[in-house]
Structures are given as C-alpha cells and as structure tokens.
Amino acid sequence: MSLYGTMRTGVSGMNAQANRLSTVADNIANANTTGYKKASTQFSSLILPTTGGAYNSGGVTTDVRYSISSQGTFTYTTSTTDLAINGKGFFIVNGSDGVEYLTRAGAFTVMDDGTLRNSAGFTLMGYPYSSTEDPTIVINGFAGLEEINLASGELNVKASESGYLHVNLPSNEDVGFKKATSLVAYDSLGNTRKLDFTYTKVSTTAGPPPTSDWSVGVTYTDPVTGDIYDMMSGTNPPGTIASADLATTKTLTFGADGKLDLTTSPADLVLDELPIDGAILNPLTVSIGGASGGSTQLAASFAAKGDIDGIGPSGVSGYEISDDGIVYLKYENGDLAPKYRIAMANVQSPDNLKPLAGNVYSQSPDSGVIVMGYAGNGGYGTIISGALEDSNVDIAEELTSMIESQRNYTANSKVFQTGSELMEVLVNLKR
C-alpha cells in the first residue's frame, strides 16, 4: 500500500464531494429560476491494479447529469406572453450572437422593437402564419425561422373575402312575400359597405314532391350618390340599376323537409368586385347552404344569422397565444388576426443536451439531432399562455445532499490527514 496513494484517494474523494456540493449550490441558487433543470453528480469508482500482494487504492470520478426531461410545476401569471410547455419540447430562441438555442424558460416580454425576449435576453423564434398551409419545416435545422415580432403601431385593415348567411324563410307565406336583410363587408381601405339581400317567394308546387321556390338578389346602395349596384350581375364592375327589384337573382328551391335542395340551388352566392370611392370591395363568396346546415324554409318567422370576414381600421390592443402556438394580434374592435406560429424542437436524448449560460441548451454529440415541429402534434406538448414552468429543484432534497456531502468530505479529509500523519511517522524513523 502506498501512503501517497492513500492521500491521493482522500483528495479524490474530497474533490468528488466538492463537485457534488457545487451542483447542490447551483440547484439551490436556481430554485426560483424559470425553466431551470437541476444538476446531479454521479460517482464512479476508479480501481488501480493490485500487484505482488500490495493493494493500490484508487479513487472516485464524477459525472454531472441534468434532469432536462423532468418537467417542473407551473406558476400562473397575468401576462399573455409568459409561456410554458406542458409536455415534451423546447422553445427555439435566438441569442445576441445570432445562434439558435433551445430553452424551457418562457418568461417572454414584448420589447420596444416588437420582439419577444425572455429574462436572459434570448428572442423567441417562429414561422409566419398562413391560413392556407403550414410552413415547410426543415426537420433537422432552423432554416425558415424568424423572430416573432408583434410591432404593429400602424392601423390594420383586412378586406373582406368570404362570409355566410343562413336564413329561415317562412313556409306559410304567400307567393310574392318579400323580406330583406343585410350584412356589412369591408373594402380595401377598411370602409364598411352594407350589402342588402332581398328574398322573394316566387312559386310553390304541390308535388310530388312538394317544393317552394324563392329568389334572392344582392344589391349595394352608395350612400352618397344613391346609385344601386347589382352585385350578382356577373360583370366587372357591376352595373347600376333603377331599383333593387331589378337586381339579378338566384333561385332557391326547398323540399318538403324544409332544407335547401343543393342539386338545383347554389350553395354559395358569388358577389362581384366593386371599385368604389377609390377603394375596391373584393369579390365575395357568401355561403347560404351546405352539408353542415344552412338556409331553411320552415313554419316559423323570418330569421337570419351571418357574418362576413374582414377588419376595419383598428389598432392592436393586446395578444393571444393558443395552445398550438398560434400568436394572434388582438385589435381594438375585438378581432383576432393570426400572425405567427411558435416553432418547437426536441432531441432523442434531452438529458444529454449541453447546458449554457442563460438557461439555454445546444445540441451535443450524445443528445441526437434536433427535430422541429409544432405544439400539440407529433409528440410535442401544448403551450400554456399566462404560465411559467418552475424549476424542478426540490430544496429539501438538495439540503439533504448538502449534509451528506459535508459529512463525506470530512471523512475523506480524515483519510488524507491519517495518511499525512503516517508519512510523518515514517520520516521520523530515521532520526
């Protein structure tokens, strides 16, 4: 047995316990850090070969592990841009160095330039929202991502494109009965344009099968000039008419069950594009019937419900973020406009990611490649707006580990002290 070896073993044990105390100190210090994942020290024995009946004491090595895949609890806040992930996945953020990182720290704040930045200074990344298709994701990279920017000091306008109008036409009315209703659409400058829909009962047959026919015409009346435009004339621009009674009509046929017969009746009314007062009222498709329901003819009073999309001039009053990561701008008139979709990422072995300053992670050789996706699908968790993920540190557990390390450090120091005393005895033998 080597006395020097005994002393080195004691030093090895003290170093190992010091490493453990370091991780405990980090964990306790970050017990209130949003999204922090605790570190732990794992010990492994170091055995030296024994020869000639002499035992060579070895030592201990340490390996630091991170519980990155262990989810913390949630703290709910009053800020819409505070985000937490319930389940697997990471937010993708951009650092001041222009490099993308992964994080679970979702305490984002809207900055003066409109970007969403967390308390460590990292900017949230996502894809521009499209109502027609999901953006193409580069599965193993960050191409196509851009900073989510909610700056919108200007007024917003969205011209109308489509809508619906479902009415009940009273079945017990005589031929010639007429009823009108209106919907408001927005032109390209955000002006409101009132469209008048006029329904007239034109015929009824005893059958078989019994049916009733109604006509519907759509007009727009210029409030300044009084000109009446026929909105289903099929011309561009639509022509003016002397009265709404002269408007082009579509025939609606209802069967004995009171439902619109889509074999002979249109499911949609297609309205003409109308240039007016320096603006354009886009062509509109107004749904009046379909497989999921629509206009009816029943023994009840005339009733109508409908809406046309579009946004008039309105400023941004706030934000909303859905559980699938769609970021909406909320306007003063109550409308919501989707603008971005938050991107998410994951790796095959999250616990082997490389932790960096600012509570972010980067890919390591042992973590596997980064795989991109969206919240709520493909195994990714959902996003909770107005919440933050707490640190997964257990203070009681850390204090227990601290006491254990303190005792073990003291015991290892006794081994070193004993070896030192034996060395002194050996040196004094020569005197």
Residues 364 and 250 in one domain: no
Residues 162 and 283 in one domain: yes
Residues 44 and 142 in one domain: no
pLDDT band at 58 (very low <50, low <70, confident <90, very high): confident
Question: Which residues have a Cβ under 8 Å from the Cβ of 223 and sit 6 or more positions away?
Answer: none
- Quote the CA–CA distance of 4 and 427 in Å, as a whole number: 13
Which of 80, 140, 104 lies closest to 386, judged by CA?
A: 80
Residues 240 and 297 in one domain: yes
Query: What are 313-353's pLDDT values in tens digits?
Result: 877 788 899 999 999 988 877 778 888 999 999 999 999 99
Mean pLDDT of 87-109: 94
pLDDT band at 73 (very low <50, low <70, confident <90, very high): very high
CATH of the domain at 223: 2.60.98.20
8 Å CB contact between 17 and 408 = yes
Residues 217 and 341 in one domain: no
Residues 289 and 171 in one domain: yes
8 Å CB contact between 340 and 148 = yes
Give helix 395-428 / helix 3-29 axis angle, nearest 10°.
Answer: 160
Segment (H or E) for 411:
helix 395-428
- Residue 173 is predicted with a pLDDT of 94
- Quote the CA–CA distance of 354 and 367 in Å, as a whole number: 8
- Residue 144 is predicted with a pLDDT of 81
- Quote the CA–CA distance of 72 and 416 in Å, as a whole number: 41
- Residue 103 is predicted with a pLDDT of 96
Whether residue 141 is predicted with pLDDT greater than 80 in this model: the reply is no
- Could you tell me what percentage of the chain is helix, strand and coil, using 3-state DSSP and rounding each to the nearest 5? 15, 40, 45
Tell me how many domains the chain contains. 3
**Of the residues 314, 339, 372, which one is the last residue of a structural domain?**
314
Q: By residue range, what is the domain housing residue 11?
A: 3-67+392-428
Residues 176 and 297 in one domain: yes
Whether residue 77 is predicted with pLDDT greater than 90 in this model: the reply is yes
Residues 139 and 84 in one domain: yes
Query: What are 360-407's pLDDT values in tens digits?
Result: 999 999 998 898 888 988 789 999 999 999 999 999 999 999 999 999
8 Å CB contact between 254 and 211 = yes
Residues 56 and 90 in one domain: no
Residues 162 and 151 in one domain: no
Residues 383 and 418 in one domain: no
Question: Which residues have a Cβ under 8 Å from the Cβ of 235 and sit 6 or more positions away?
Answer: 272
Residues 301 and 167 in one domain: yes
